[in-house]
Homo-oligomer: A and B are copies of this chain.
Amino acid sequence: KDVQNSCDERGIAIQKVGVSDVHLPFLIKTKSGSFQSVLAKIKLTVDLPQEFKGTHMSRFIEILSDWSQKPVSYREIGNMLTDTIVRLHAKRAHIDIHFKYFVEKEAPVSGLKSMLDYDCTFSASLARGEQLDFVLGIIVPFTSLCPCSKEISQYGAHNQRGIMRVKIKQVHGKFIWIEDLAKMLEERGSCQVYPLLKREDEKYVTEKAYENPKFVEDVLRDLVLMLRKLDGIQWFEVECENYESIHNHSAYATHIENVDK
């Protein structure tokens, strides 16, 4: 007896059912035309019509195993969801893929290169016969230096690492590389962070941050201004969090916007 296919009489169509907390290596396409092998944490779901008791969990793993072999980006995520819809006999499919993505950064003075890690997310939904709904998420670390502390103090100013959590949705067909988005975002802090800094670089970032004090509100506003102008932007969400060096809690700001074009 196939229990999953047996009839259900509660009359409830389930919006999303599938697997979560699946870890797999994935290949993410890079701007340079190659791909990066990442550790992906994945949730993959479909809708389930009211007449079926259960979905077929093992098929999700088969789909993910297949796709973990091929370089993916915006377009392939759509194909993966189409594949899921077909193999699960579903009307809609949804995926969330979380991964650390590395981008090469050049130290500001010495020019030394090193790899910085950004936590990224591809969140996508697809309904049969409709356009792909794709949200790109990224967490970007930055340095923030407090304008009030600088203003009121004879010397110095408290500063700290902060993070921007940004999610964007562009119109169908538009896509921005993580490499490009990260670069635009991290310029909005008091200074960028780098994995590798030599003495001359450390002098540079220290002075740059001091010359460029920003509240969490300032960083948020500059991000909003920038994101409104992003090519094909439809919707965005921004969160900024400063891990205050003078407190054991964070300063926090957030903003969500549907962008009229």
A residues with CB within 8 A of B: 1, 3-4, 8, 10, 12, 14-25, 36-39, 43, 45, 48, 53-55, 57-58, 61-62, 65, 68, 100, 102, 112, 114-117, 141, 143-149, 151-161, 191, 193-199, 202-203, 205-207, 209-210, 215-218, 220-222, 224-225, 241, 243-256
Contact = CB atoms under 8 A, between A and B. Distances in A.
A62 to B, nearest CB: 7
Interface on chain A toward B: helix, strand, loop, or mixed SS? mixed
Contact of A245 (B21, B245, B254): B245
A18 B58 CA distance: 35
A206 B249 contact: no
For the complex of A and B, 5 pairs with smallest distance between CB atoms: A156-B210, A20-B252, A37-B37, A39-B39, A153-B206
Contacts of A160: 159-161, 243, 245
**Which of A158, A159, A191, A250 neighbours the largest number of chain B CB atoms within 10 Å of its CB?**
A158
A48 to B, nearest CB: 6
B243 A58 contact: no
Number of copies: 4
A151 B1 contact: yes
Contacts of A21: 241, 249-250, 252
A216 B115 CA distance: 24
A151 B48 CA distance: 21
A39 B54 CA distance: 35
Given A19-B250, A53-B215, A156-B210, A199 B148 contact: yes
**Which of A143, A241, A246 neighbours the largest number of chain B CB atoms within 10 Å of its CB?**
A246
Contacts of A256: 15
A119 to B, nearest CB: 10
Contacts of A58: 196-198
A147 B48 contact: no
